[in-house]
Structure 1
Amino acid sequence: MPVTSCRVSRFPLVTALAALTSLCVGHAAAADISRGDRYSGNTWASRSPVIAQHGIAATEQPLASQVAIDILKKGGSAVDAAIAANAALGLMEPVLNGIGGDCFVIVWDPKTRKLYGYNGSGPSAKGRDLARMQAEVKAAYAKAGMPAKDHIPSVGSLPITVPGTVDAWFALHEKFGKLPIADDLAPTIAYAKDGFPITQLVAKYWKGNFAAFEREKGLIEELDNARHTYLIDGHTPAEGEVFRNPDLARTLTLIAQGGRDAFYKGAIAHTMDAYFKRIGGDLRYDDFASYHGEWVTPQSVNYRGVDVYELPPNGQGFAALEMLQILKGFDLRKMGVGSADAITAMLEAKRLAYEDLAKFYADPNFVNVPMKGLISEGYAEQRRKDIRLDHANPSIGPGDPRLFNGDTTYFATADKDGMMVSIIQSNYRGMGSGLVADGLGFMFQDRGELYSLKPGAANVYAAGKRPFHTIIPGFAMKDGEPWLAFGVMGGDMQPQAHVQVLTNIIDFGMNVQDAGDAARWRHYGNAEPTGEPSEGIGKVEMESGFDPQVKAELTRRGYTIEPGTGNFGGYEAILLDPKQHVYWGATEMRKDGQVIGY
């Protein structure tokens, strides 16, 4: 669908090359060069959507997309393909995800004609209560010679929670898998043994992560295992350099042969238990052996005829639904894409929803989260009254959704039968904690950094409690039929990016690829679920594709506008045309990803 009135300007996708070397005489000639021209679609878009009939995979790594397609062609379901892609991404993009992290999934099953949700997030150690965590946080900063913070560190053993990804794989596979899970894992086991070349952005992230580990090594109990696993002759792998992870190959082989119990009750669990005992961490064998994720019911709001689904807390997906409910009261299409009015409406809706997020979102097994109220039309109508389009509201805080309550490395795959999988998986901040158990070949997540240490807060740390979670898969239905599996990874960027992508498609008529290519904004400064207070109006980073006059007008309205630093998330999506039974796939032009279909 073309954009009829688009104010998003041409993207400088390729910055100037400083010098071009003459092939003839080796003469260095100074020159500026940028991207070529497109001859169809929007001139600023990176490419057209990928369109396929039988199956499709959209991931952040071309080899992972190919792995998923190979599984589909072998007769696997979209869930088999998702598991295969996830395993490959954990090997090929350890800077973002892996089996040391958590996983959330939404699946459309064409047989039962239902949406299924799975929360594969793990809890904290049973043996560490709030008082002990507070004491250990204080001691960790003192040992590292760093100023004390009322915040769990992002590295070391303190932020590690039980990894939920492998559990999610087997729960999904039991219900929806067609191939043996050993077949799903076989491609990644081979790549881990034989090696694969590192892509451009991953190489950059890898280098940055290890630089951060070295800076913060005083907080990390031991770093030798991570160096052994992830460095090549002492350096992080460069773009195009072949990387191997034989330890991960052995771990995945144990899982392929022994199933879920190999990870949570067998040899892997005993190795993790022994490792945490050795370094002084608190997770124990029973924490792994007693863990199970849970099936949850995706919840929705109707936005201009589209039913948009997200998973309930402890994730942050309901923030996107609350934003959409608020935005229903504004005619974004009339305002125009990229206009100051449209951006103001979205920014203020984001600020309102995120104040509620900071106050109410937590593990519903420990606190009563007012889920129905948060995404109700009545509550949105009340919150909408705090928005003025002529100026940013300087004093936004949380509302009271209880009055309206009444009573809950993203990638996507789809198969020939119509099953669609929206799945997101992460180690949280970068590669994770910096800790790798002896010989296992994967890093533990640092998701537990997101607990609050403030007694009485909904998201306060507790033994056996799941932390507030940022990773959210999205799904949308139209006229009762599956329509869009989508997601945008990137911390608290995710709900605000979900809304930007959806409004680009629904309000502004963009196709599924253009909706992700369009310039994005990211707002910072709301109160945090970890306990940090609001910073007033905060600041807004904006990519260069927005009109400078719009940025100037937003500044006049009270926003602090800053250039983009690249932290605008990673988008993948699959859209289904039910009449043609054709999939339209999109991938993030800001990353190394690729869509493949057949």
Structure 2
Amino acid sequence: MRYCTFVAVFLSALLAACAAGPAGKMRSMDEVDAQGAAAGLGGGGRPVGEAWSRSPVYGAGGMAATAQPLASQVAIDVLKAGGSAIDAAIAANAALGLMEPTGNGIGGDIFFIIWDPETEQLYGYNGSGRAPEGRSLDDLKARIAGLKAAGAVPEDLEGIPSHGSLPVTVPGTVDGWFAAHDRFGRLPMADVLAPAVRYAREGFPVSPVIAYYFQRNLDGFEKRAAMIEEFDNARTTYFTDGAPKAGELFRNTDLADTLETLGREGRDAFYEGELARTMDAYFKRIGGDLRYADLAAHRGEWVEPGHVDYRGYDVYELPPNGQGFAALQMLNILKNVDLAQWPRASAEVFHYLVEAKRLAFEDVARYYADPSAAEVPLAGLLSDAYGRERFSLIDPARATAAFGPGEPALESDGDTTYLTVADGDGMMVSLIQSNYRGMGTGLVADGLGFMFQDRGELFSLDPAHPNAYAPGKRPFHTIIPAFVMKDGEPWLSFGLMGGAMQPQGHVQVLVNLIDYGMNVQEAGDAARINHDGGRQPTGVHGDPLGTLAVEPGVPAATIKRLEAMGHRVEVIEDGVRFGGYQAIMRLPNGAYAGATEKRKDGTVAAY
């Protein structure tokens, strides 16, 4: 009994001590529990796989991976109704333009890579729009000077303003939808767009990460209000009562009307019909330069994806004006070293990833531009010899202070949402779509329910640069879908949204899968890095060494070693700068394994 009494007294004293605050201040058990939660309760365990990841999703009849669960379900419903993977991808993209307008919408551009099992070919589509024909480079510079004089943009702004009408280019998404649908669709477009129309009219509950980005965008618009010629339409469409909150029902009946018009009247309604006339009138009213003739002249183009072999896997990306070849250049550099000789979390692996990125992006800044307006050495950039030449510049022990662009052989021959869909016949679609910076320019045409992109911000103002602004020219583009083949068969449809993070993320995912044998979900959940800095295709260059952002999953000892190697490192905990990944892997038996992004709201749906 004396022992039991001692234990009871000890436990009482221990509980009292635990409940005591600084200087012996007593706290309630609720306060103790709250502090314990705030201190960081870790994740649970798993019977298989890595403790920090989840299981991939498996299915054989069809699969969709998107950044919003309802959009994934929309895609599955379309597949079950007899639609092809392209029907389902367009339906999901239309839903995302409503549900995730913080990353995409029909005011932006689109890119596809499509595996067609019938022809056994990969098809690439570049759906980027062009600058207005009626504004010259000198006109643009004069407009920017006027904004500086009026205090609407900072005096030290070196490039094109991020908001308002100056960065607007022709939206290419709708044209891309219809081009792909004409070639690979099965269902009428009115049926494909019907789920998005219904959600736009009836409303849907906003998901948490998208709500977070709604608030970030509203804060950004208010900060840059002087750049934006007209914001009342955008406020009415998206921010009537401030930024939508998680769980709040959101509707966009104007967008429902626009999508219904597209389903009923087709592509030409947007580029030559009533919608085009509404856009023309709006830009005339606010003093912008986009015109009916610019819309009527727009056509996207089917392009041949480029590829490199990375350890027996053929990785495909679209050519410039996008940055997809940067991922291929990085892989061509990295295949000259056996990364698997070190643990995945080692400083050596991160060092080679960063230096390969820095080398590739020097070429991005020098060469990547609209190939119809500039001579781009496409084949030379992807040659094995050039990859070896660039690899030889990496010091294995230390970060190089500054790199420059290479001289590849010249031969004759370019915020976001990513989604991927696969159907039961084996068609796989890799689709990426964006308004560029967040929601876009802040401009919403009267009654149309979507915001125009600010992709033109990525032009250079240097007339000697391949990416220099010019009337009717396509700007450098960041959004890139990806696809991987193995032994002539489709293996992986994937992408990773997020500006310059995209090629870096593509490479990190592939290294995780191919070099380290992770499954398709673990490859996306693993901690990432994002190097920022160096030369830019806009001509507005950063520090040559740059800064390496890492997620908390990178070990402290690795960070310390990287700093000793000369890298400037910072830990970012909120996941915002590390992109958003979705993927579908085709298994040898014809079934699919899918993965989605824990840094977003997304999910994989399958049947």
Bin for the TM-score computed over the shorter chain: over 0.9
Deviation at 1:211, TM superposition (A): 1.0
What do residues 131-189 of structure 1 show as CA deviations (whole Å, max 9, x unaligned)? Answer: 11111112123334443322111100000100000000000000000100111100000
Checking the alignment, whether the CA contact within 8 Å between 1:517 and 1:589 is kept in structure 2 is: yes
Residue 579 of structure 2: aligned partner:
569
Instruction: Give 1:440's aligned residue.
Output: 448
| Distance (whole Å) between structure 2 residues aligned to residue 523 and residue 225 of structure 1 | 37
- The structural deviation recorded for 1:273 is 0.1
Contact 1:298 1:310 in 2 (8 A): yes
Q: Could you say if the C-alpha distance between residues 168 and 407 of structure 1 is closer, same or farther in structure 2, counting changes exceeding 3 Å?
A: closer
Please state how far the C-alpha of 1:336 moved relative to its aligned partner. 2.1
The answer (yes or no) to whether the contact 1:493–1:569 under 8 Å persists in 2 is: yes
2:511 alignment counterpart: 503
Match of 2:142 in 1: 135
- Match for residue 3 of structure 1? none
Q: 2:23: which partner in 1?
A: none
Question: What is the aligned counterpart of 1:116 among 111, 114, 123?
Answer: 123
Q: How does 1:53-72 map to 2 (within 5 A)?
A: 53-72=60-79
1:227 counterpart SS class? helix
Partner in structure 2 of residue 269 of structure 1: 276
Q: Which residue of 2 aligns with 1:554?
A: 562
Assess if the C-alpha contact under 8 Å between 1:37 and 1:43 holds in 2: no
Unaligned runs of 5+ in 1: 1-23
Amino acid at match of 1:514: E
Equivalent-residue separation in structure 1 for 2:30 and 2:485 (angstroms) = 57
Q: Does 1:418 align with 2:426?
A: yes
**2:171 aligns to what SS in structure 1?**
coil
**Structure 1 partner of 2:25:** none
Q: State the match for 2:249 in structure 1.
A: 242
Instruction: Name the SS for the 1:105 alignment partner.
Output: strand
Q: Deviations over 1:24-49 (max 9, x none)?
A: 99888432252442323334433100
Q: Which residue of 1 aligns with 2:598?
A: 589
Give 1:37's match in structure 2, choosing from 34, 44, 48. Answer: 44
Report what 1:17 is aligned to.
none
Structure 2 gap segments, 5+ residues each = 1-27
The CA distance in 1 between the partners of 2:317 and 2:551, in whole Å, is: 26
Q: Which amino acid aligns with 2:442?
A: G
Q: How many equivalent residue pairs?
A: 572
1:511-550 to 2 correspondence within 5 Å?
Answer: 511-550=519-558
* AA aligned opposite 2:310: Y
138-147 or 451-460: which moved more?
Answer: 138-147
2:14 maps to none
Once the two structures are TM-superposed, the CA of residue 445 in structure 1 deviates from its matched residue by: 0.5
Q: Specify the SS of the correspondent of 1:286.
A: helix
Tell me the CA shift for residue 335 of structure 1: 1.9
- The 5-angstrom pairing of residues 303-314 of structure 1 reads 303-314=310-321
Q: Give the corresponding residue for 1:427.
A: 435
Instruction: Please name the residue that 1:6 is paired with.
Output: none
For the 8 Å contact 1:307–1:476, the answer to whether it is kept is yes
- The 1:367/1:406 distance shift into structure 2, 3 A limit, reads closer
Deviation by residue 1:480-513 (Cα, 9 ceiling, x = unmatched): 0000000000000000110000000000000000
1:370 maps to amino acid: P
Q: Residue 257 of structure 1 is aligned with which of 250, 260, 264?
A: 264
Q: Is the CA contact 1:80–1:173 (under 8 Å) kept in the aligned structure 2?
A: yes
Identify the residue that residue 11 of structure 1 maps to in structure 2: none
Q: Is 1:76 aligned with 2:83?
A: yes
Change in Cα spacing, 1:406 to 1:172, as seen in structure 2 (3 Å) is closer
Give the distance between the partners of 1:26 and 1:245, measured in 2 at CA.
42
Distance change (3 Å), C-alpha of 1:237 and 1:177: same
8 Å CA contact 2:339–2:515 kept in 1: the answer is: yes
Q: Which amino acid aligns with 2:386?
A: Y
For the residues of structure 2 that align with 1:34 and 1:291, how far apart are their CA atoms?
A: 53
Cα separation, 2, equivalents of 1:561 and 1:26: 38
Cα drift, residue 303 of structure 1: 0.3
Conserved in 1, the CA contact under 8 Å of 2:64 and 2:72? yes
Cα offset, 1:407, TM superposition: 4.4
Q: Deviations over 1:429-463 (max 9, x none)?
A: 00000000000000000000000001100101000
Residues 387, 377 of structure 1: CA spacing in aligned structure 2 closer, same or farther, 3 A cutoff? Answer: same
Distance in 2, Cα, partners of 1:247 & 1:505: 43
Give how far 1:536 is off. 2.0
Kindly state the Cα deviation for residue 394 of structure 1 after the two structures are TM-superposed: 1.1
RMSD: 1.4
Q: Is residue 324 from structure 1 mapped to residue 331 from structure 2 by the alignment?
A: yes
* Amino acid paired to 1:75: G
- For 2:322, the equivalent position in structure 1 comes to 315
Q: Which letter does structure 2 place at the counterpart of 1:61?
A: Q
8 Å CA contact 1:521, 1:543 repeated in 2: yes
SS, match of residue 173 in structure 1: helix
Q: How far did residue 342 of structure 1 move?
A: 1.0
Q: Deviations over 1:66-87 (max 9, x none)?
A: 0000000000000000000000
Residue in 2 that maps onto 1:177: 185
Aligned match of 1:18: none
Whether the 8 Å contact between 1:50 and 1:585 is mirrored in structure 2 is: yes
What is the alpha-carbon distance in structure 2 between the residues aligned to residue 164 and residue 145 of structure 1?
A: 29
* Residues in 2 aligned to 1:489 and 1:235: alpha-carbon distance in whole angstroms: 26
Inter-partner Cα distance in structure 1 for 2:606 and 2:409: 45
Describe the SS at the equivalent of 1:354.
helix
TM score, norm. by length of structure 2: 0.93
Which shows bigger deviation, 504-513 or 234-243?
A: 234-243
| Alignment partner, residue 359 of structure 1 | 366
CA distance in 1, matches of 2:32, 2:355: 50
Kept in 1: contact 2:152–2:227 (CA 8 A): no
Is 1:227 aligned to 2:235, yes or no? Answer: yes
What amino acid is the match of 2:254? D
Say if 2:96 is the partner of 1:86: no
Separation (CA, whole Å) in 2 of partners of 1:464 and 1:128: 9
8 Å contact kept, 1:144–1:219: no
**Residues 1:400 and 2:407 aligned together:** yes
Query: In structure 1, what residue type is equivalent to 2:53?
Result: S
Question: Does structure 1 residue 151 correspond to structure 2 residue 159?
Answer: yes
Aligned to 1:387: 394
SS in 1 for 2:582: strand
Query: 1:279-290 to 2 correspondence within 5 Å?
Result: 279-290=286-297
> What is the deviation of 1:533?
2.7
1: CA distance, partners of 2:54 / 2:348: 28
Question: Out of 337, 345, 354, which is 2:352 matched to?
Answer: 345
Show CA shifts across 1:406-447 (max 9, x none).
Answer: 647010000000000000000000000000000000000000
SS in 2 for 1:287: helix
Give 1:537 deviation, angstroms.
1.2
TM-score normalised to structure 1 length:
0.94
Q: What does residue 100 of structure 1 align with?
A: 107
Corresponding residue number in structure 1 for 2:15? none
Find the aligned partners of 1:315 and 1:70 in 2 and give their Cα distance: 32
